[in-house]
Structure 1
Amino acid sequence: MSAHDAEADGTGYGMLYFPSAGQSVQLVTDIALNRLYEDALPGYGLYTFVLLGDGFERTSGENLERHRELFRMIETYVAASGTTSEPSAEAHVFLVPIRAGRSPAAPLMDLAAVDLSDLMRRRLGELLRQRGQVRLAGRIERGAGPFLVSGLESSLLPLDGEAPRLVADLSGLGPEHLYNLVDAYDRDIPPESSGRPESLSALRQRLLELSLKSRSASGPGRGEADGKRWIFLI
């Protein structure tokens, strides 16, 4: 099924929420497909949408392993214990597009909805081109991925034209760095920073610090570990 077909038929698709605190893992479905990524559950402090890379169904080698390791880290280490029944404003949440009809016991990577993710990448690419960020749009549209798109709003795309988004292009990051990467995201938000740009800035700073460690550990030939090349504030 293509991204256009997915947009026309939202039945069977959903978004899995992996919060750092508060609620446990939650599945949200909606017949209106765009609502899954344009109108996510309100109440979390920071949202990160997980997008697969271009041509994911045909990927192999390190590109495949990078996706697999990211999903393994999210489903293994992020899931909260479910101490509350409502989203927490002090929680970060990963949102993963999935095919809702598949077995919930399957590994997260097997649940991922390639066509829905492609649609989300296309929408993000269109927004970037409208903003004149053609080069970054090309990376999102054709990169090996995965990509992480973070913001304060419960939407992949800005509801407010000035609302920032933090984009991490993991295409050149080695799978061995993904534990520390997920840990950088999976942090509770201090009450004084909840809902404020400072929480997004703090995440960006943690990623920049991670990029320095990754570059040092990777040695020559892994230039994408330079944070300026894979972390973008838009």
Structure 2
Amino acid sequence: DGAADEGVQFIAGFVFVFLFYLAAILFGYAIANSVVEEKQSRIVEILAAAIPLRQLLVGKVVGATVLAMGQMVLFVGIGLIGLSFTEYTSLLPAMAGAAAWYLALFVIGFVALACLFAVAGALATRAEDVQSTSSPVLTLIMIATFGGLFVSGTWQVVASYIPIMSTVTMPIRLVEGTAAWWEPLVAMIISLVAAVVVIGVAERIYRRSIMQTGRKLTYREALKLAD
């Protein structure tokens, strides 16, 4: 039974990782491509005359977050209902608690990543540029998600407090029963602080680079631009 329970716990961890990775990639690239299309077609100039660029960014991020969160709730709900019909119902309380914290951490991490993908679109001048401008974000996602799945011991504890990585690592620890009740709360506070910083920097880069149509910009060049 112990080995079987460990197998179910690993599968749950993999599902957390897969869902986060899938949502971040699908919705993230959708945001980046939407931004670069508006920039390339000059639609953003019309929009900027009507609403502040900050509101334009917020609208894109909120829309994507609502859609992504809706999918996560649906998939997690289906998974928990399915588990209730198996012989592993004893794991249901731990799974439900882990899923709740996963969804909370998911929202925080996804909003930060969505802003970074919007920046990737703003730095580009055409759709082909998005692949290169978004590569740092993609690298961050891959390290955070898959790294969070395969670490163990002390490294797993450390990873469960690192923003983005904590989205998958902390729920895994909760499923395994190795995290105290207060640990996910601390991880969420750390993620919130990090997200506020990332969003602030991303908003500044987005605002400065979205109107630059001459060539593809780097992150460093965009930060040096005047408002």
TM-score range, shorter chain: under 0.3
Rg larger in 1 or in 2? 2
Looking at secondary structure, tell me which structure has more strand per residue.
1
The structure whose RCO (Cα within 8 Å, separation 6+) is larger is 2
Looking at secondary structure, tell me which structure has more helix per residue.
2
Give the TM-score of the pair, scaled to structure 2: 0.27
Give the TM-score of the pair, scaled to structure 1: 0.26
